[in-house]
Amino acid sequence: MTFSIVARQGEAYGVAVASKFLAVGAVVPAARIGVGAVATQSYARVAYLDELIGRLASGESASGALAAATALDPGRETRQVGVVGASSAATFTGSECNAWAGGVARDDGDTAYAIQGNILTGPEVVEAMERAWLASTGRPFAQRLHAALVAGDAAGGDSRGRQSAALYAVEPGSGYDASGVLADLRVDDHADPVTELGRLLAEWEMYFGKPEDVRPLAGPLADEVRERLARLGFTGDDPAHVLADWAGNANYEARLSPDGIDARVLEALRAATPDPR
């Protein structure tokens, strides 16, 4: 009833999942900074999340942790689990999972992934997710997770339909107040949850992402920023200080930089002050 990707990229770990199931993000994903990530699905055993994260934290490999945990579970043949650790990845599909069910796992050194699904339209869902993950090299981690989910959804996804999706990822120093939460998003009940999750991810990155493509606030750009801010009622001699006032009011303070103005903040400022035609 669910398809997911569990992955690592550098120091980031995360899970993206979609299902014809209410609030799938409340059940399937877990991740811990410096340790790993887990997805439990198909008659999900939520206790696997803490158990597997704990085993990874104690130094067990993903495959070793998964084998030990499932061996102790009398319901293991109904389960499906993906695990990624610091240097390993593993997936498990029980023999009693509803068809089509299966997965793939690989550790390539700096990156690793486990992709799995059950009650899918066919193996093409997992295959499409793997291709999308591999083709998205170079993109931000959370975007890569979502790209894999989009590909799985487009390939057929859950054979029963769509209802919910979620993305949870961690990385040292990321997120609001450098909490380490790179993304924490859920679409609990929606006609097109994977698309809605993408919209929320774009918003999340705007509010909590790090500054990017920063341009110095000098010359004509400083004049433009000062003039646009004045149109919004924010005035002063120093455009950096005025920009900080406006950005704080708009909740964009995470994207402020002492070196100038972030490209996405500039885009938002221009959108808020359209030029007359």
- The SS3 assignment for 258 reads coil
CA distance 204 to 221: 26
pLDDT score at 132: 98
DSSP letter for 163, please: -
CA distance 60 to 83: 11
pLDDT score at 277: 72
The tokens for 272 are 């808020």
pLDDT in tens, 95-136: 999 999 999 999 998 899 999 999 999 999 999 999 999 999
Domain limits, the chain: 2-208, 219-272
Q: Which residue is listed with tokens 């499409």?
A: 128
Percent of the chain surpassing pLDDT 90: 93
pLDDT at 1 over 80: no
Segment 44-62 shows an average pLDDT of 97
Q: Which residue is listed with tokens 């993206």?
A: 16
Q: Which residue is listed with tokens 């509010």?
A: 207
pLDDT score at 157: 87
pLDDT in tens, 4-34: 999 999 999 999 999 999 999 999 999 999 9
Cα end-to-end span (Å), the chain: 51
pLDDT score at 159: 84
**Who contacts 233 (Cβ-Cβ below 8 Å, separation ≥6)?**
none
Question: What class has domain 2-208?
Answer: alpha beta
pLDDT score at 169: 98
Supply the pTM of this predicted model: 0.92
pLDDT score at 158: 82
Element (H, E) at 115: strand 111-118
DSSP letter for 87, please: T
CA atoms within 13 A on the CB side of 110: 5
Segment 65-84 shows an average pLDDT of 97
DSSP letter for 274, please: P
CA distance 277 to 270: 14
10 Å Cβ neighbour count for 172? 13
Q: How confident is the model at residue 46 (pLDDT cuts 50, 70, 90)?
A: very high
pLDDT in tens, 145-190: 999 999 999 999 888 899 999 999 999 999 988 899 999 999 999 9
CA–centroid distance for 52 within its chain: 20
Element (H, E) at 71: helix 62-71
pLDDT in tens, 187-227: 999 999 999 999 999 999 999 998 999 999 999 999 999 99
- The SS3 assignment for 18 reads strand
| Nearest Cα to Cα of residue 227 among 259, 272, 197, 195 | 272
CA distance 135 to 156: 19
What radius of gyration do the chain's Cα atoms show? 21
The per-residue b/e assignment along 32-41, b for 16 or more CB within 10 angstroms, e otherwise, is bbebbbbbbb
Segment 229-234 shows an average pLDDT of 96
